[in-house]
Structure 1
Amino acid sequence: MIEAVGLTKRYGAKTAVYNLSFQVRPGAVTGFLGPNGSGKSTTMRMILGLDEPTAGHVTVGGYPFRKLPNAPRQVGALLDAKAVHGGRSARHHLLCLAQLSGIPARRVDEVLGVVGLQNVARKRSKGFSLGMGQRLGIAAALLGDPQVLLFDEPVNGLDPEGILWVRNFMKQLASEGRTVFVSSHLMSEMALTADHLIVIGRGQLLADMNVKDFISYNSADFARVRTPEGDPGQREKLTAALSEAGGQVLPEQDGALRVTGLPLPRISDLAHGADVRLWELSPHQASLEEAYMRMTQGAVDYRSTVDERAALQQQMPGAVPQGAPYGYAPGAPGAPGAPMGFPPGTVLPGYAEPPAPPQPQPHAPGMAMPGAPAAPAASAPAAPATPPPAPPLPRLSRPRRPPPPPI
């Protein structure tokens, strides 16, 4: 069993965990939930003796982790699947851990088979995928056949088959009487795996209860009621009857009614008394994700803001409005086929400057202009067949320094 009493950890002016007390009992999978930055990883590090608490204490089986005799045989943990020397093979990595803990080498092959890495046991871990690294980390946690197991995001990077395997494996370990403590952000997976939940926010305990009670306590109970869609009169009659009986009725986006304050049998009796047919009458079943979001909504440190991209595009000169047809050009709204792109002669950074268009040559005195009457041949000098070549540009050279004065 894991027991934390008044656990507090400060890093300078920042308090990561404050006065945290809980128990993780054997025989059940206990989920450890909380937003990013809530102190979950810090709490696990203090359980494993990697961080010293500022105040309070935490014990495993009645002892601090550092005082446990042969701790790797009593506690197994997966905190960082990437904490593996990339040049070692999977078998060599586990063999080194086994030798340090006095575990026989045959156990290495056993756990490799348990996690499904027996075919890649002699490959270097630097070529492993994220899911294979997770399996190797689970194998390392199982190496000493411990009674207490801690896992931080154990299904990260696993495929659906691997996630199902981890879920069933956690339940199997708990059914053997072991203490299983799992931290995860996948609410749907925790709903299927965990029996008990410990939820923290900003380093403080928010909830310590089983999954069913947590969902029931942190979700709104209401009934969904639906009347025939082609008869709005029945919907209005039912709304009036439910409101008169003390219920609160709110319309849903899909056309149903959300009714609170009345049990389902009472709603059915009121509909029957008002001669209203019901197409749906069902209790609302909240999910763990919904209950978790409602519980932790005040403990989230990182929130997204509304993207103001539309307003930004309206302020930018020459911006193409959303939904404009292909070929739209500023100044000609809605005109398909209008010229697009940059004005002629625009030079973009990193691109060569376009060649200058040919300039008309100046006319010499007496030269005939297009469309003008021809001058007498005697007074008009003969024009050359081709324009004379442009004189070459003068070469740029550095000015020579004057010779030094004689000494």
Structure 2
Amino acid sequence: MIEAVGLTKRYGDKTAVHNLSFQVRPGMVTGFLGPNGSGKSTTMRMILGLDNPTSGRVTIAGRPYRELPNAPRLVGALLDAKAVHGGRSARNHLLCLAQMSGIPARRVDEVLGVVGLQDVAKRRSKGFSLGMGQRLGIAAALLGDPQVLLFDEPVNGLDPEGILWVRNLMRALAAEGRTVFVSSHLMSEMALTADHLIVIGRGQLLADMSVKDFISANSADFARVRTPDTEPQQREKLTSALTEAGAHVLPEPDGALRVTGLPLPRISDIAHEAGVRLWELSPHQASLEEAYMRMTQGVVDYRSTVDQREGLMAPPQPGAQPPLPVPGQGQPGWYPPPPPGAGGAPYAPPQPGPYGTPPAHPAHPAAPPVNPYAQPAPRPTADQGAAEPGAAQDRTAQERPAQDRPAAAPAAAQPSAARTDTEDAR
């Protein structure tokens, strides 16, 4: 049995575990639950003597871990499956652990068969997948055939078949009278595996009870009632009748009614007396996940700003700037600021032109923007300066409409007409 009394652990001014007291009894699987950062891993490390408590004590079979005779043969643990020498094979890794603890070498092949790694026993562990690493860690925990076992997230990385195997293994070990202490974030799996629960939040004990009692204490069963969707007046009529009978009725997002306070037969009788047709009348039993979320909703340190029900971000703080658009991705509802010098008029995104390309609109039609990378315009030569006045006027008339179009980069200076054949060859 594992027993903690007034267990407290501080790191400087941060309290990881505060006055924690509980018992983990043999013959059952005890689940250890809590949000991230609640102190679960710290508690397990103190149980195994890896961290010293600031105050309080924790014992295994009445003794601290460090005082146990040949502790690896009494206690097995999986805290970090990656704590393996990657250059060793699975079998050599277990052989090293067995030699350090005085465990017979034959036990290595036995546990490799239990966890299903006998075919890859000679492979180096650095090539193992996450699930294979978890199996190797479980094999190391089982190596000494211990009576007390601690597992931190044992199903991490396992496929459905592996998860089922771990579940059956935990229950089989508990059925043999061993003490099994399991930490996990998978509520659905814990509901199928654990017999008892210890729940902590921010280092303090929140619950210490059986799974059944935990669900009953932190949730309520209810009935789902649905009337014809095309007849909303039927739903309103039934709501009034159930409320008058003492039930508590809440609408569900899908149009059904959540009814508490009345058994299903009584709900059916009330609907019949009111002349309301029912499309659905089903019981709903609360799950471990629902009970856990209700229990720990006030002790979660890391919470998303996204409303999972609405799919929207929380309202921005006063004065916050809108997020910049991701290049190549449109973000509805927000556009870049107006170009410099365009004034304070609202900026409208460019509309597609007749050929699918947006038309260009210069900021100042009377003064086209200057291209800083264009070559300077050539100076007129003497011959060009002596051009006829009529030709200059025609050229000026031709250039006037160009002011309504975006300014293009000035053309490079034309070479002089007096070019020799030798220069052309160059």
TM-score w.r.t. structure 2 length?
0.78
Partner of 2:384: 367
Which residue does 1:105 correspond to in 2?
A: 105
In the aligned structure 1, how far is the partner of 2:348 from the partner of 2:388? Answer: 37
1:24 offset after TM fit, Å? 1.0
Q: Is the 8 A contact 2:3 2:22 kept in 1?
A: yes
Q: Give deviations 1:195-220, integer Å, cap 9, x for gaps.
A: 11110011111111111221121113
* Residue number in structure 1 paired with 2:86: 86
Report the secondary structure of 1:138's partner residue: helix
- Structure 1 unaligned residues grouped into runs of 5+: 344-353, 376-382, 389-407
CA distance in structure 1 between the aligned counterparts of 2:387 and 2:285, rounded to whole angstroms? 89
Q: Across the two proteins, how many residue pairs are aligned to each other?
A: 366
The structure-2 alpha-carbon separation of the partners of 1:238 and 1:386, relative to structure 1 and needing over 3 Å to count, comes to farther
Alignment of 1:92-131 (within 5 A): 92-131=92-131
Cα 1:295–1:369, aligned 2, differ >3 Å: closer, same or farther?
farther
SS in 2 for 1:182: strand
Q: Summarize the alignment of residues 5-404 of structure 1 with structure 2, pairs less than 5 Å apart.
A: 5-306=5-306, 307=313, 312-313=321-322, 321-322=331-332, 331-333=348-350, 335=352, 337-339=356-358, 356-357=373-374, 359-367=376-384, 384-385=416-417
Q: 1:279 to 1:309 in 2, by over 3 A?
A: closer
Aligned in 2, Cα 1:207/1:386: closer, same or farther, shift over 3 Å?
farther
RMSD: 3.1
Q: Distance in 1 between matches of 2:283 and 2:65?
A: 47
1:209 alignment partner, SS class: strand
Farther-moved stretch of structure 1 (33-42 vs 263-272): 263-272
Equivalents in 2 of 1:370, 1:20: separation in Å? 101
Distance 1:3 1:235, change over 3 A: same
Distance in structure 1 (CA, Å) of the matches to 2:132 and 2:51: 28
1:48-72 residue CA offsets vs partner (Å, 9 max, x unmatched): 1112222222111122211211111
Over 3 Å counting, the alpha-carbon distance change for 1:274 and 1:374 in structure 2 is: closer
The structural deviation recorded for 1:173 is 1.0
Deviation at 1:153, TM superposition (A): 0.7
Q: Is the 8 A contact 1:9 1:55 kept in 2?
A: yes
Deviation readout 1:63-94 (Å, 9 max, x if unpaired): 22112111111110001111111222111111
Deviation at 1:374, TM superposition (A): 7.3
Q: In 1, Cα distance between the equivalents of 2:250 and 2:189?
A: 31
Q: How far did 1:22 drift?
A: 1.1
Q: Which moved more, 1:306-315 or 1:106-115?
A: 306-315
What is the CA–CA distance in structure 2 between the aligned matches of 1:90 and 1:6, rounded to whole Å? 39
CA 1:371–1:193: 2 relative to 1, 3 Å: farther
Q: In structure 2, what is the Cα distance between the partners aligned to 1:150 and 1:305?
A: 34
Q: Percent identity?
A: 77
Aligned to 2:365: none
- In structure 2, stretches of 5+ residues that fail to align are 307-312, 340-346, 363-370, 393-414, 421-426
